[in-house]
Every structure is written in C-alpha cells, then in structure tokens.
Amino acid sequence: MKRKLFNKILVANRGEIAIRVMRACRELGIATAAVYSDADRNAIHVRYADEAHHIGAAPPTESYLQLERIVKVAHDCGADAIHPGYGFLSEKPAFPDACEAVGIRFIGPPASAMRALSSKVAARKLAVAHGVPVTPGSGAVDPSTALAAAHAIGFPVMVKPSGGGGGIGMKVVESEHELVATIESSAQAARSAFGDPTVYLERYIRKPRHIEIQVICDTHGNAVHLGERECSIQRRHQKIMEETPSPVVTAELRAAMGEAAIRAVKAAGYVNAGTVEFIFNEGEFYFLEVNARLQVEHPITEAVTGIDIVKEQIRVAAGLELSFAQADVAWRGHAIEMRINAEDPLRKFMPNPKRISRWVAPAGPGVRVDSGFGPGSDVPPNYDSLVAKLIVYGGDRAEAIARAGRALREFVVVGPATTISYHRAILENPDFRSGNLSTRFIDDHPNLVEQARKLATDVSPFDYGPDPRHVAAAAAAVAAVVSR
C-alpha cells in the first residue's frame, strides 16, 4: 500500500521558491497554503496556492520572520507540514522546534543538526574530527588573541563571522597592522546582522574556486550526494551564476568530495537536503560550511541528474526512504543557472525595484525559468532583488553556454533595470568560456560592466514594445529636419 505523504503543506516563503515548492506539491497531490506580507498581497505565489494567509507588514521582521505567527497560521489552517524554502527562517533551529511542539512536520533538517552546523567554528571542528579537510584556521578570536592566531596561520588571513552568511563581516587582512581594527569591525557587523559577534580566522586563498556538493539524507540511515556545483562567479561573496558539472572536477574528485560531504553531514545527524560548500585550489578541496536548507541553485543539479530534489525533501520529511541509492545517480550533460536580479549593473548594481511593464520569459529546448514575477508585478524594495532564475541545459558545456546566451537574448523585462546584459557579458568572456574561474572572477574582469552597457542596447525579438533602434532613427530624422 502506498504511504500517504501530507494533506497540506504551508510554504513559509515568497517569490520563486514558494512557487517551486508549490509546483512539487501540486504534482504530488498535496494542497498548499501561502503566506504573504502587505507588499506581496497581489504576488503570484499568493494566487498559485490553494489558500493564502496574511502575516503582516512589508518589512521581513514584521512578516516572513514572524516564526510564531507563521506556525500558528499553519496549525490553524490544518497544514501538517511546513516547507521553509531558503533564506528568512529556513536555517533557524527554533523553527523546527516550534513545528514539533504543535505536531507539524518541518521539511528540512532537525534543529539539532542546524545547531551543530550553524556555528562555522563548531562546524570546522566537526569536519576535522571526521577527516574532512579544512583550510588552516583558528577557533574564535578577539583583539587580544587574534595576532598570535594569525601568525600561526600565516598572512593574509580572512576574518569571518561564525554565524550567518552572505559575506557579511568577511574581510581580508594582509598584515598585522590591520588586524585588530578589522576584528572589531567584523565582530560589530556580525553582532548587528546575526546577533553573534564571534569571529574566527582562516588562511586567505587568493583565487580559489567555490565548489559545493548537494546531499540528501533520510531517516533510515541513507545518505546520497548528487554531485557538485561550480559557484565561483560571485560578486561581494554573493553567487550570481552557477553551473554543473564544474569544469575542473573529475569523476574521482567528485567521488572524494561527495564522500567527504556525506561524512560531514552524517556527523551532525543531518536529515533532508543540504549543501556542503568547499573551496578548491590547486587540486585540493577544503571544507567551508554547510547550508542546512535547499539552495537557490538546486535546479541545475535537477537538470543533470533528473532528480526532483523538492519532492525528495517532502518524501524524506514524511518518513519515507530516498527513492534512489548512490549507485542510481548519474550525471548527464551540463546546466547553468543565472540569477536575474532587479539591479542596475551600469550604476554599481543599485537595486531597482519597480513595476514590471513588460515581461517575456525565454523558452525553447533546455530552458527553464523559475520566477515569482510577470507583467504587471511590482518588485518590492523590502526583499532580495532576485526576479528570476534562468536555468539552461545542454549536452555539454559549449551547448549550455550557447543556449544560455540565446535565452538571455530572448528575455524581456521592462520596468526595473536587471542583470540580464551583465550575464551575457560573462558568458561572452574568454576566461569564462575556457573555464578559467575563481571567486575573484568579477574583480578581475572590470570590463564586464562596459560590455554589459553595449549589450543592453540589443533588443529581444520577443519585445513587442518600441524598438529602440527605430526610435533612435526616427529621432535622428526629426533632428535633421529641425536643423534645416
């Protein structure tokens, strides 16, 4: 007899990830409940769900971060599970605790695993204890102990907050003269952002790759990895483009990294989907951290493995075994994801929240667009600037790059400025095409902005608005008549 999953899942998030989870639920025959703030009253994820519940004002602290309020809504509407998506409350141990207290299943790792991995200092110790390589580093430091630790590691060093992420508080120190002031400012940034001023040191590797391994574990002792994602294209420590497989990862290296990732998460008692992040340099990989949630870039792994990660999350949370074993996982082709943000790359990536007046998403073979926006949607200023994830798949890397360029050329977003042209510039860069990547790729290629400026004048054939080329020609003709 087939075991029932859930009757209703509340999705405690917004935008594209809320819709992504709801699509999986719909295919599994599970009802969905959405939550929304004042800013999202007319959002697509609200209309997509079977029911929707208002949870507060636009600021996240008054809505999507209101843990008790969200759990109460789930309980009152009869949801038997909550999916947190990513961001917001997704990595807060108090969330699964609160769900358990009222008999609601949390679709994610247990609170104990979150706590074991939420401190990067503690996670490093756990990794070392289980044979997972880490970069030379320290435990928690303060201005009085940092100098000795830095000399033991060797300059340059990276000062990193133990809690939180997103590059907040991370700073490179080249010499001892900068160290104390940097420790103090990083600790203050960490206190403000995460409520935890603890910082530690790691040896700074100047041009590493950022490579992560997708894992998923069930409650029956099974733990499987789904291979790597190359996430080296970053701006200010924030990923903007990911691909799989990595241009430098061999089958042997993939197996070694996968085994190390599984050791790390099993040591923490991990269950459900998660990602183990590594830095890679000169053939060696080093543990960085564990993201105890679904990642933004999970669709490219789905593309090359054929495994629906969100459905597996739901199955695991319902107590079922994984539907596949490690031997069943095969990687075919190549996939790239581009994060399309409402930011203006020509104005130092200034956020550009506006109403979308025209929207045409690309289509065709091997193209997937995950988004919570469309024509007439308002991009609110209160949240992350992501408006769409463009995912492309090809038989190999060259085809995926060509398909990505074609899809970006077709994408129409009129209203807010976006990073579409900037992604096109990256794809056309010779170093990117040759796979010569590092986390300093953006810093090392400042000409990308100028190239994006040129590409921004290119008009999509699917843009039914006025063709700027025709408008410019008409303006020139009028000017010529006036000047006579």
| Residue-level pLDDT at 1 | 38
Q: How many residues does the chain have?
A: 484
The per-residue pLDDT for 119 is: 86
For residues 440 and 445, give the distance between their C-alpha atoms in angstroms, rounded to a whole number.
Answer: 9
Pairwise CA distance, residues 407 & 375, whole Å: 18
Establish whether domains 8-107 and 209-455 are of one fold.
no
For 250-303, how does the pLDDT look when each residue is reduced to its tens digit (9 = 90+)? 999 999 999 999 999 999 999 999 999 999 999 999 999 999 999 999 999 999
**pLDDT of 471 higher than 60:** no
Report the pLDDT averaged over residues 378-407.
98
Query: What per-residue confidence (pLDDT) applies to 481?
Result: 60
Provide the CATH topology of domain 136-203.
Answer: Dna Ligase; domain 1 (3.30.1490)
The whole-number pLDDT of residue 400 equals 98
Q: What is the model's pLDDT at position 480?
A: 62
What positions carry a catalytic annotation? 293
**Mean pLDDT of all residues in the chain?**
94
Provide the percentage of residues in the chain whose pLDDT is more than 90.
Answer: 88
**The CATH number of the domain covering residues in 209-455:** 3.30.470.20
Question: Distance between CA 135 and CA 122 in Å, rounded?
Answer: 14
Domain residue extents for the chain: 8-107, 136-203, 209-455
Distance, C-alpha 397 to centroid of its chain: 21
3-state helix, strand, coil in the chain (%, to 5): 40, 25, 35
Helix (H) or strand (E) holding 230: strand 223-235
pLDDT grade for 4, boundaries at 50, 70 and 90:
confident
* Cross-strand partners of 359: 413
Crossing angle of the two packed helices 111-118 and 120-129, in degrees rounded to 10: 100
For the segment 165-174, the average pLDDT, to the nearest whole number, is: 86
Task: Determine the pLDDT at residue 167.
Answer: 80
Q: Is pLDDT of 3 > 70? A: no
Tell me the two tokens of residue 93. Answer: 């141990």
What pLDDT, in 10s, does the model give residues 362-380? 999 999 999 999 999 999 9
Look at domain 8-107 and name its CATH class: alpha beta
Which of 186-200, 257-271, 307-321 has the lowest average pLDDT?
Answer: 186-200
Give me the mean pLDDT over the 190-219 stretch: 94
Q: Which two tokens stand for residue 425?
A: 């510039």
Task: Work out the average pLDDT over 73-99.
Answer: 97
Q: Give me the mean pLDDT over the 39-56 stretch.
A: 98
> If you average pLDDT over residues 319-348, what whole number do you get?
98
Residue closest to 189 by CA, chosen among 219, 166, 218, 156: 166
